[in-house]
Amino acid sequence: MDFALNEDQRAIEDAARRFATDRLAPNAAEWDEKEIFPVDVLREAAALGFASIYVKSDVGGSEMGRLDAAIIFAPVGSLVPAALRAVRPGGVVVCGGIHMSDIPSFPYEILWGERSLRRK
């Protein structure tokens, strides 16, 4: 069995990585500090097909599968350790996505450890 990504999946992976690197990573700290919910950036993600992933295409969704979703969310995963280190007192890091493997790999003890991330 061939586990390599096909051409379409590689294109999705590349687009998701560029989006995470160019649009999310440079702004995440400022958005958190100023409590900004970047609707315009989320609309950009939707325009790339990164929203409504499991929704049928005839009603506006991307109609992708779980592997496609994992490919989309994987590049954002590299932001999680930085977000956990940078969370301000009272801040919250929300991780919602698909956990199929440790892609991209990072030390899970900083995420899954028994500790409170809220500081007063």
pLDDT (tens digit per residue) in 98-111: 444 444 555 555 55
Q: Which residues have C-beta within 8 Å of that of residue 14, sequence separation ≥ 6?
A: none
Domain 7-112 has CATH 1.10.540.10: yes
Burial status of residue 92 (CB atoms within 10 A of its CB: 0-12, 13-18, 19 or more): exposed
More confident residue, 112 or 39: 39
Is the pLDDT score of 120 beyond 70?
A: no
- pTM value is 0.64
Annotate 22-49 with b (16+ C-beta within 10 A) or e (fewer).
ebbbeebeeebeeeeeeeeeeeebeebb
The pLDDT of residue 109: 58
User: Cα–Cα distance between 77 and 83 in angstroms, integer?
Assistant: 10
